[in-house]
Structure 1
Amino acid sequence: MTDAGEDLYSRLQQLQSHFTWDLKKEDLELEQQDEDQELGQQRAVAHSCCFLAYVRYLQGRPEEAESILSQSEEKIRECYGEESDLRLIVTYGDLAWLKYHRGDYTQSQNFYKRVQDVLVKYPVDSSTDLHPEVYGEKAWTYLKLSKSYYSKAIDCFRRALKLQPDRYEWNKGYAIALYRTEEVLSIKRIERRQQGNREGDGEGDGGGDREGDGEGDGEAARDQQNHFPEPDPTDPADDQSAAHGERAEGTPQSPAEQ
């Protein structure tokens, strides 16, 4: 690597990007990501494009990744208009990294400069490191990755909400992250009870009735999962409720309300 390449690499490491968030390929649920793109409204699709592009890069399809990122920029500008710049910080960072990995240092430098121009135009407060739009993008990425990243998603949504407590998409994402976390914990509790029952049956009667008990507990697990419907980020009814300031019973409060 040339000195220019090393210098550029060092600067790219400072960007907020899917390439710098320590996203491990072995943690990605790659088959699910294609299905997610069919869901949601236009803004949800715009949110997903950067993540999908990164997935394509991991799959060894950099040209497709670059095409998706270009579409992402167009969709974000269509959706957010004058507010697009802050939404493009991560997109430009991803493009800078992708161009770098493809050996196009000039274009990589150009996208790096675009990020810096946005940060100069919209400086962050001294009390925070990132813009809420970046925290939000990061949170949605963690939420889509896998169960092991849910705690990181919750933390990023909380940080976004501290800066924009009334922002609907952060409140909704935060609620979804909390719901999924509780769902995972509930399943783990059920699995522990199942294990305890199997061990107890084995000690008492040699485990002759294990199969029946397992089926019953399996039904309980499914009941636990289906007891509360997960909030749907694509449901227009949810958007309408949020627009009128309604809160469904049991919906967790945002950090700003706590």
Structure 2
Amino acid sequence: MDSTHVFTSYFPRTLSSPIFIPSKSEVLSSSEIPKDSLKASLLKLECHFTWNLLKKDIDLFDMEDTIRQQLEFLITKSKLSLYNLLAYVKHLKGHNKDALECLQQAEEIIHHDHAEEEEVHSLVTWGNYAWVYYHMSELKEAQRYVDKIENVCKTVAGSSNYKLERPDIDCEKGWALLKFGGKYYQKAKGAFEKALAAEPDNPEFNIGYAITVYRLDDYEREGAVKSSSLGPLRKAVSLNPDNSYIKVFLALKLQDIHAEAEGEKYIEEILDQVSASPYVLRYAAKFYRRKNSWDKALELLKKALELTPNSSFLHHQMGLCYRAQMIQIKKATHNRPRGKDKSKVDELVAFAISHFKAAVEQDSMFVFAYTDLANMYAEGGQHRNAEDIFQKALLLQNITDDHKHQIHYHYGRFQEFHRKSEKSAIHHYLEALKVKERSSLCPKLTSVLKKLAFKRLGYNALDVQSLSALGFVYKLEGDKKRAAEYYERAQKLDPENEEFLTALCELRLCIENEF
């Protein structure tokens, strides 16, 4: 092959009169390329394979389905970013040939949308190519893409460290991190902040940043509603006045801070403009569900489900609407529905179960769908099914402390009210507090633990579990003397218990230091 042709195929528009220097991939055969040095180069690349996006943190099938839905219906996010992310998900599933097809789609978008700067816009895609070929043991192809990246970096920045500082790469990284869930939100925020530092008024960067902070408002919430995202959302809407997707997040945040009337104006404006976007319909439905306009919410959710029938989010929202309608009837009948009311409650419970079950089937990591399904089974008297779902939830791996907190809380309630097992309820309420000591549920948890513990001590003053539970609760509340008293009583009954001994030592030391 003519050497000039080889080199200019990498840089068809940006370079003139190049001096050809053969790369490793052109000099060596695949068997001769040193795998260790290639791996060292791959680890320096900026792409999905080096952003520490862990397979264990997502449901791969739900992720793939979500990305495909967004490629079809969502115009906010760059299709280039989505195809790159889909390629990575395909690789995680072990489908490397499919991953290559996704990267080819990404290349077509680059060629069409970024013809004047194809090479610099290809860096993430080429990095993903290199990693996929590496995992396929096609080392010559992997090295070829590493060489292409190195040549671009040398040409543009005069550096061969395989990286360029580009805000579009930071933005793509932000979207990828955001997609992998709550554990990644802070890192996603950092990536978008870095992109915005370079281009403060870039419309897409502002959308990504605003949605990330919106997610963090809920993810890091402990009690009161957080409104950190209100300003970023308003700015994103001002920079993207025709974008319905970002407007619906602003509407939801306004509803959060009790500015529902202003939020509804945005929702009405959106629904007048958009009739076929399931991503807008789903959040508009959430707005109306939270407003207790359940029929309107269900109408929108059904429209969205026709377009994306496998959406775990939509099924979960449907279940929440049916559950809310059921609760309304039970409240109106003082929890004793009869006749038509009883038949309607049974029907709504069945509807809610079917949708929560579908949500779990579509997304095996959807913690709130598990607890809502288990609770609804319990509501319908199906205690064995409820127990099975709670056990599956308790066995979930790589979930956040907040999710563990929620599972133990709901399972504790199931044990208390449906299984009538105060001992098991106390255990799981304590586990909920030990996992996360500060949340909106904590006052409720400490109150119910005191109630149950004192009740059990009333007919058995030597109940070790209740004594230690009170020790833990009082310690959490800062009442060190009372905490120490109960831990001492528990420790006398169970002298070898390390938890009691450790807690007592800490408490006694704190008490001594106060005097």
Q: TM-score, normalised by structure 1?
A: 0.71
1:51 matched residue in structure 2: 85
Distance in 2, matches of 1:43 and 1:121, equals 29
1:98 matched residue in structure 2: 132
Q: Which of 7, 24, 32 is the aligned partner of 2:63? A: 32
CA pair 207-63 structure 1, distance change in 2 beyond 3 A: farther
Deviation for aligned residue 1:32: 3.1
1:10 aligns with 2:67: no
1:82 matched residue in structure 2: 116
1:150 matched residue in structure 2: 185
CA pair 197-62 structure 1, distance change in 2 beyond 3 A: same
Tell me the amino acid that sits aligned with residue 54 of structure 2: K
RCO greater where, 1 or 2, for CA within 8 Å and sep 6 or more? 1
Distance in 1, matches of 2:95 and 2:454, equals 51
Distance in 2, matches of 1:143 and 1:87, equals 21
2:152 matched residue in structure 1: 118
Task: Give CA-to-partner distance per residue, 1:23-52, whole Å, 9 cap, x none.
Answer: 211113421342233222286222111111
Distance in 2, matches of 1:130 and 1:28, equals 29
Deviation for aligned residue 1:130: 2.1
The structure with more radius of gyration: 2
Distance in 1, matches of 2:174 and 2:158, equals 18
Distance in 1, matches of 2:223 and 2:91, equals 37
Retained in 1: the 8 A contact 2:167–2:195? yes
Retained in 2: the 8 A contact 1:198–1:207? no
Distance in 2, matches of 1:120 and 1:3, equals 22
Q: Which of 144, 153, 169 is the aligned partner of 1:134? A: 169
Distance in 1, matches of 2:186 and 2:40, equals 29
2:328 matched residue in structure 1: none
How many residues of Structure 1 are paired with residues of Structure 2 in the alignment? 205
1:19 matched residue in structure 2: 49
Q: How does 1:241-256 map to 2 (within 5 A)?
A: none
Distance in 2, matches of 1:83 and 1:43, equals 20
Deviation for aligned residue 1:79: 2.4
Distance in 2, matches of 1:124 and 1:180, equals 39
Q: How does 1:161-200 map to 2 (within 5 A)?
A: 161-186=196-221, 188-189=222-223, 192-200=439-447
Distance in 2, matches of 1:50 and 1:42, equals 16
Tell me the amino acid that sits aligned with residue 68 of structure 2: Q
Retained in 1: the 8 A contact 2:153–2:164? no
SS at match of 1:122: helix
Distance in 2, matches of 1:189 and 1:54, equals 37
Range that drifts further, 193-202 or 65-74: 193-202
Task: Give CA-to-partner distance per residue, 1:88-107, whole Å, 9 cap, x none.
Answer: 11100110111111111111
CA pair 83-207 structure 1, distance change in 2 beyond 3 A: farther
Tell me the amino acid that sits aligned with residue 52 of structure 1: L
1:108 aligns with 2:139: no
RMSD: 2.7
Q: Which of 195, 209, 217 is the aligned partner of 1:160? A: 195
CA pair 42-163 structure 1, distance change in 2 beyond 3 A: closer
Tell me the amino acid that sits aligned with residue 88 of structure 1: S
Gaps of 5+ in 1: 209-258
CA pair 17-207 structure 1, distance change in 2 beyond 3 A: farther
Tell me the amino acid that sits aligned with residue 11 of structure 1: S
**Percent of aligned pairs with the same residue?**
28
Distance in 2, matches of 1:32 and 1:3, equals 35
Distance in 2, matches of 1:167 and 1:82, equals 19
Task: Give CA-to-partner distance per residue, 1:110-166, whole Å, 9 cap, x none.
Answer: 1112212222333289xx962112211111111111111000001111111111222
Retained in 2: the 8 A contact 1:136–1:157? yes
Tell me the amino acid that sits aligned with residue 217 of structure 2: E
Distance in 2, matches of 1:79 and 1:3, equals 34
Gaps of 5+ in 2: 1-30, 225-405, 407-438, 456-515
CA pair 38-200 structure 1, distance change in 2 beyond 3 A: same
CA pair 198-11 structure 1, distance change in 2 beyond 3 A: closer
Distance in 2, matches of 1:179 and 1:167, equals 18
